Amino acid sequence: MLYICKKIQPVDNKIWLSSPHLGGGEQKYVQEAFDSNWVAPLGPNVNGFEEDLGKYLQDNVFVGALSSGTAALHLGLILLGVERGDEVICQSMTFSASANPIMYLGATPVFVDSESDTWNMCPVSLEEAIKDCIVKGKKPKAIIAVHLYGMPFKAYEIREIADKYEIPILEDAAEALGSTYKGQKCGTIGDIGVLSFNGNKIITTSGGGAIVTRSKELKDKAVFLSTQARDNAPHYQHSEVGYNYRMSNICAGIGRGQMEVLDHHVGLRRAMHSFYETYFKNIENVIVFSEPRDDFYSNHWLSCIVMDSYESREKLRLLLESENIESRPLWKPMHLQPVFEMFPYYGGNISETLFQKGLCLPSGSNLSERDKERITAVFNDFFRVS
């Protein structure tokens, strides 16, 4: 009887892992773009958004607004001199967009395992990979390190190795705007940094990204390449291959509004993480992914847990799904992906184990008390808490 009653009740809205959360100020900037007819991949919002980001990141960086984080990674590799046949080291546990641009350039990805504190690039495996590449006659051209789920990677350890072998770091901070390591903002830690403003990220421009550089010259070069590499001439003149990667002035308007609420939304994401920490405090066999030390400050873009087995993880995931609540296994490592499995890999099975047992939970800054009640009800059911 109870089950029949349950079925005929209206279905609750879907609870997403991470959905866009607008602050209210976005439309003003978009309206300005329409009013002034700057409906193009340049204009006052693009410049303004770059300034807002630069101020937020501090540290005297130069920001170029682009059409996506993937485009920023692609241009970042080009600016670091990566060419066909080069080797590029990449964190294996990441989203495929970290690795795809290596392929665009005809370079070879060399994947490196994670360590268990931050789930990010393991410094020991990184050095092993570099040494082996050198022995085989090819020093890697770049290291792509990722702040997964907003958790900063071990920046000092990775930097020490990068400097020892004189290899630049391309910092994939797509998930980590608002996170810091030893007080330094993620996005400013690498030789070049990358941000994403896709719909599911901590702030969104509907789709977009940015490249963060240490020099105006590099930023100008990125913008030049992103706008079809047009030489300074009255006619269309090109000496280099260009790309159409610049951010539109409409999207940048959304971004300017989002910057007004960024810190507030980081606080709300961190509150979601606290909600899960509190819930799982007394539940055995569930670990909530948290900062290992005070040096790390995560925006907790996604809250994640690790369970005792693949089977229990799947059971919980399916139970959430049956209640219209989205969750997702932790990102499948690149060295296990059909498209990348033929490339070299260094490390053990940390990332593979995380993929087996880990789950990302609804983490949006816009989740309501009712949403949290629904999530809690599923957990209570699963963990038999009354």
Q: Does 258 bind ligand PLP (CB under 6 A)?
A: no
Rounded distance, CA 20 to CA 13, Å? 15
Q: Which of 87, 175, 352, 371 binds ligand PLP (CB under 6 A)?
A: 175
Choose the binding region for ligand PLP from 49-57, 92-100, 218-226, 333-341 (rule: CB under 6 A). 92-100
Q: Does 68 bind ligand PLP (CB under 6 A)?
A: yes
In the chain, beta strands by DSSP E: 62-66, 87-91, 108-112, 142-146, 169-172, 180-181, 184-185, 192-196, 209-213, 287-288, 296-297, 303-306, 328-329, 345-346, 358-361
Q: Does 253 bind ligand PLP (CB under 6 A)?
A: no
Nearest approach, Cβ of residue 66 and ligand PLP (Å): 9
Nearest approach, Cβ of residue 286 and ligand PLP (Å): 24
Q: Which of 196, 226, 299, 363 binds ligand PLP (CB under 6 A)?
A: 196
β-bridge mates for residue 361, sequence order: 303
Q: Does 48 bind ligand PLP (CB under 6 A)?
A: no
Residue 212 DSSP one-character state: E
Rounded distance, CA 91 to CA 99, Å? 8
* Cα dihedral 245, 247, 251, 254 in deg (nearest 10): 130
Q: Does 98 bind ligand PLP (CB under 6 A)?
A: yes
Which amino acid is located at 176 in the chain?
A
Q: Does 95 bind ligand PLP (CB under 6 A)?
A: yes
3 state SS of 256? helix
Nearest approach, Cβ of residue 246 and ligand PLP (Å): 14
Q: Does 94 bind ligand PLP (CB under 6 A)?
A: yes
Q: Does 146 bind ligand PLP (CB under 6 A)?
A: yes
CB atoms within 10 A of CB 55: 11
Q: Which of 97, 122, 161, 306 binds ligand PLP (CB under 6 A)?
A: 97
Which parts of this chain interact with ligand PLP (CB under 6 A)?
Answer: 68-70, 94-95, 97-98, 146, 172, 174-175, 196, 198, 209
